[in-house]
Structure 1
């Protein structure tokens, strides 16, 4: 399939790769993978991701997995939603575990009243926000600001302030400015270049954020 050569037309269209896998091209030139099949006599269609974030090889592997599910008598569209729901639950549990560990670590610095207030705010707001947020998208600044306000930091600190602090410290430590910009979600508008940068800097970003985590931990030792 000539994915790169597929040009937009005056209306959306689809190109078949065989095996129920299709590439949909929008009027604006966007491309996404679709899987189309029949399950129990009904038409089933769902997305497998956008190109080039999901490559042709990856789309074919996803389509193959959908065929395996069909052979097992499963609706691949429902299986996909169930997998996302399970992933969301795992992410929420991980977030709560880290938050509770952080709360325990901060106890020596806080009064009992403040510690209780922070924990109650986390349980009432932050954990709930994480559970109801699309795990494939970052939380909005408004959501984070509200959660921080409920934890008692209103007028003291803001999400944007943390971003500015991180940028200043990381630049002073000599980290590559391009890597810092990518980590701060100053996104590349060109989708192809964005996918390239995401892959190119991923390892460096992990190392940088580990340094940042160690740096923050060191401020309270």
Structure 2
């Protein structure tokens, strides 16, 4: 007689284990402590074996019969259900060991070992993974992450109004996938299908907007002086046009790199795009800005620390977000755009030598013999140029009639 659900439910423990048989090898074993275990007895290769099918009532009678049917089907094809189960569990463990998060952390550690990242950059990468990727796909085997899930991650970031962050997250996911492919844990990069989903590189460069007309630059400089945000953001905004370094270089500025007496900022090679040390002469106006913020952040590592932690530098979105709050959109100006502003005006209006300007922009510049200039090349001339530039900007802000001029021959080197 087949077992009924009522019989299974009412079965009471006895002094010794006993069985309630359902047929075709399936039975319910009732233990002295009241446990009820589904068992399937079968023969394969002439040997009798047992397979556990779960605990009643978690596994109902109907479910136990379905599991028996699946096991009998395997036996009929010469497959041992116990061996098949062990193989499935091993495969599952392997998939779990190859989750997106585990592989991403391994890739991150691998990249740090190559020493191509600064500590700050490594932290930024991991923060993006932990904030935007791991909560949604971290626990999934990397080969089971779907295009829909990748798209959801990008849309979620886009909804915060930070397209550039979405683009960087996509780049990071692509790098994780390529690492997985190189280590034989993925066949292809599923994130690669979204390369055209976000604005392309060309569109990004378009947004590196700059102001090169002095008439348009003047109100922008006055708006910066009147910015009502935090002191750190105010001072960062003031320094950007004065120093025209890359925004990332400014955000990572450390007090240990600043010599206020010598009026110099020595940026170490690992922080520079060209991986060469760079020296930035500081105008008196730049020194004044640094002295303004020093009482607030001078006891810490970064000149412009994060609002959340003095152990991290300012967010990469702080500068451009400040411009948006002042009413300047991405088509008008970005933090990076002051480099083009300085490059144009120093050459076309103030008449400084192009190689002086390019060297101060930390571009690759070579001397007449084809050798790369070192960081102190033309330092005296660049120091004069930076002070002239700062004075010129002051003149624009005050509304003075600043006429184009060409420096004297001695000033132009």
TM-score by length of 1: 0.46
Structure ranking higher in strand proportion: 1
Structure label with greater radius of gyration: 2
Q: Which has the higher contact order (CA 8 A, sep 6+)?
A: 2
Which structure shows the bigger proportion of residues in helix conformation?
1
Q: Give the structure-2-normalised TM-score.
A: 0.25
